[in-house]
Every structure is written in structure tokens, then in C-alpha cells.
Amino acid sequence: MKSVAIFRHTKTEGPGYFATFLDQRSIPWQLIRIDEGERVPDSAAPFSGICLMGGTVSVNDPLPWIERSCRLIREAVASGVPVIGHCLGGQLMSKALGGRVTKNPVKEIGWGTARADPGEEAERWFASAIGGAGQATVFQWHGETFTLPPGATRLLSNPFCANQMFALGPHLGMQCHVEMTESMIETWNEAWQNETRGLDPLPDSVQTPDEIRRQTPARLPDLRRLAVQLYSVWIRGLSSG
């Protein structure tokens, strides 16, 4: 089977639980370290799927790899290679496929919830991973947001950020993070001061590191169940060529 290409844009925002999920199912994967200068491949054909992780830059920054990534996403979608994007990755998908990325009304940092939009697509992606109240536990760390690209269906939203997740056939774009591990959360907490500089008072959408740590034991299992469900649906589309 071809490998899943996982694009890392910042050293601290690696594949996390996504890689663990693939390993547990003996699905090969290859890490492409954009943050270390590795080049975006010219074609999606060598891969069974494309996974885009988060990062500290904006898709609107004048970085040469951003347009190359967008071209790769468009080619993957056109050729039926499934794409999944986490936070910055979801924003890259939106930009590549005709959406826009802009500043979100507020920063979102820490644990929160998002509500599933009704419909068949949400039922297909979430199944029983979201309870009867239609609420999903998610982890947030972003200041920008995307619009839905043409043809996409919104799956999740919350009062702080209208578009938390979208599906476009076998492709899944997320503003929120479902790939988190305890060690990743702790590493990101170390950057909290820089992320929140100038936010006084803190908006309701931003938790302190102490709040994040306090809620992690109870919330991480729910996030993991959601991740397993989403990733399980996504891998059904992997190219077997």
C-alpha cells in the first residue's frame, strides 16, 4: 500500500495521535518536514492520502510552499486521493479549493465544544462519537478561520468560530484539533504567553494553561473517541494503487 503523506509545518505541531492511529492499523506513512525545508511533492500520485497538520504561520503569508501545497491539494482532490487537514491544514484546504482564510473574531485556545450540523454528512462522519446533544469535545489553538469551499458541507460549529469542520466527499478539513496528545498539549502550553500577548482581559474563548491541564484528564478520552471515528471514516477512501 502507498504511504499517507503527513505534512508538518511546525516542529511542535506534529502528527500526534493521527500517526498512532495509522500505526495501529499498519497503514504506512511518511513525514514531510516543511518546517525543515523539505519540498512539497509535485504530485499526489505516490501517496494513498494527504494529511496536513497545524502550524504557526498564516496561509496568507508570502511563503513559497503555501501555493505548492495548494496545488497539491487541488491535484489530490481532482484525482480522488483523500485529504485531511488539521487547523492550518484545514485552512490550506479551504484556500486551495476556493474558500478564504481571515482573522477569526476571537482567538480560541484550550478545551471546548462544537455542535454538529444536522444532516447525512454529519451522521456519516460522526456516527456514535457525538452524543444525543450533538456536542463534540474539541481542542482549539487558532486565531484565523476559513470559509467553506464550494461544494463543502459544514459538520461542526460553535459560537466563537462558525466553521469548525467541513467535508467534501472523502476529504475532511478541520479548524479544531483532534490529534492532540498529553505531551503535545503540555508543549503548546509553553507557548501560551506568546499566543495571548495583548489579550487583556482574556476572552471566554481562551483558557489558561492551568485550566487546560485541569480539564485534560476528563476531556482527552472524548477527543480520542472523536478522532478515532473521523480517522476511521477518512481511511476508507485511501488509494490502494
The per-residue pLDDT for range 36-79, each reduced to its tens digit, is 999 999 999 999 999 999 999 999 999 999 999 999 999 999 99
C-alpha–C-alpha distance, residues 179 and 143, integer Å: 18
Neighbouring residues of 168: CB distance < 8 A, sequence distance ≥ 6: 77, 97, 149, 151, 152, 153
Give pTM, 2 decimals.
Answer: 0.97
Give the residue carrying C-alpha cell 503540555: 186
C-alpha–C-alpha distance, residues 29 and 52, integer Å: 12
The pLDDT value given to residue 129: 79
Q: Domains in the chain, start-ordered, CATH in brackets?
A: 3-237 (3.40.50.880)
Strand order, beta sheet including 3-8:
29-33, 3-8, 47-52, 83-86, 171-174, 161-168, 153-158, 101-116, 135-146
Question: Is 183 exposed, middle or buried (CB count within 10 Å of its CB: 0-12, 13-18, 19+)?
Answer: exposed
Neighbouring residues of 91: CB distance < 8 A, sequence distance ≥ 6: 58, 59, 85, 101, 144, 145, 146, 173, 175
For the chain, 241 residues long, the average pLDDT of each consecutive 10-residue run is 97 97 98 98 97 97 97 98 98 98 97 94 88 86 98 97 98 98 97 93 96 98 96 93 61
C-alpha–C-alpha distance, residues 53 and 84, integer Å: 9
The one-character DSSP state at 26 is T
C-alpha–C-alpha distance, residues 63 and 84, integer Å: 21
The pLDDT value given to residue 127: 86
